[in-house]
Amino acid sequence: MLDANGDVHIMSRRGTHEMAWLALSEWAARASSIEHLISPIRFAGGSLLDPFQEFFPGGASTAIGELMIEWGFDLQQGLVDRNQRNWSSYQPTALGPILTRPVDDAAFFQMFWQAVRPNGVELERHLLRILLETEARSLNAGVADYEHRYERLQAGTKNVVSFGFLTRVVDAYDHQFLTYLADRAAPAHPYAMLCRAGLLLKLAIGMAEENLRAAGVQPTQHFNDWWQDFGAQQGLWPPGNPPEATVDLWSDIELALEDCAAAPTGHRHEWITALAGNAIRMCETERAALWGLFQ
């Protein structure tokens, strides 16, 4: 590869994972990346980019790049996460201890699925707030200085994000999903890795759908047979009986979460036994990919 100075670099010494994290870190830091990253995220009947641009209509922004690094999407944390995942996945004879308790896992399942649910607003409104704060801070200001621009927001957006929320007068704490993914402890905590992976999934799905539509491809039409076969192969529905729409996949998760909330968590065997098939159901994150990409 040639760099900006014309110097040649041999890439074979770097692994695929390392190169992917280097590319992500570099790309996210560019001022133009915010539109590609958050524009596809649906929020209050529109795009998450819409209210952001009402506050800051300039277009270019480094807010998302700063947040990606702050949240642990850098090369160092990426390598730590990879090593932890590899240890868990490829060393079955290591018999490492489980670091979490059933009661905490049950709460995490509830939080995680609510954060990635179809047409959700809870995580999205927290993302909006922290994006606005980061951008305002780069201008030596605070969100409270932009109340006049808040008034320009659509009524639907105001219904889910009050100005008091954006200025942390109410509901001051960040969503737990964001708190977990920002955890840079070593070794990485399982919840932190899962939330970082969950946000990457959310962003990747949105950008993939946007790229397909820009190329004239309608995912629900052109890939209809593929996603229906995929879901059946993964056991998400019986063969030949796909849901009418991928958003219907949420109903299974909603029922599983209700059972999870009622299941005893005294010890892990008791908890898993009570959950039965729902223990697997709540691990089917392929559902989030399907309802994000094939809406």
The confidence score (pLDDT) of residue 64 equals 72
Question: For residue 37, what pLDDT band results from cuts at 50, 70 and 90?
Answer: confident
Cβ distance 62 to 28 under 8 Å? no
d(CA 69, CA 98): 28
**Host H or E run for residue 43:** strand 42-43
pLDDT digits (tens, 9 = 90+) for 244-293: 888 899 999 999 999 999 999 999 999 999 999 999 999 999 999 898 88
Cβ distance 99 to 88 under 8 Å? no
What three-state secondary structure class fits 62?
coil
For residue 219, is the peptide bond before it cis, meaning its omega torsion is within 30 degrees of 0? no
Instruction: Give the CA distances from residue 5 to residues 1, 13, 19, 153, in Å, rounded to whole numbers and listed in that order.
Output: 11, 20, 20, 45
pTM of the model: 0.84
Compute the CA torsion angle 258, 260, 266, 271 (nearest 10 deg). Answer: 140
* 212, two tokens: 């397909």
The confidence score (pLDDT) of residue 90 equals 62
More confident call, 153 vs 79: 153
What three-state secondary structure class fits 133?
helix
pLDDT digits (tens, 9 = 90+) for 137-180: 988 999 999 999 999 999 999 999 999 999 999 999 999 999 99
Residue with structure tokens 């100005």? 163
Closest CA to 115 of 181, 188, 37, 212: 181
* 276, two tokens: 């039965």
On the question of pLDDT at 91 being above 90, the answer is no
Cβ distance 102 to 267 under 8 Å? yes
d(CA 192, CA 182): 7
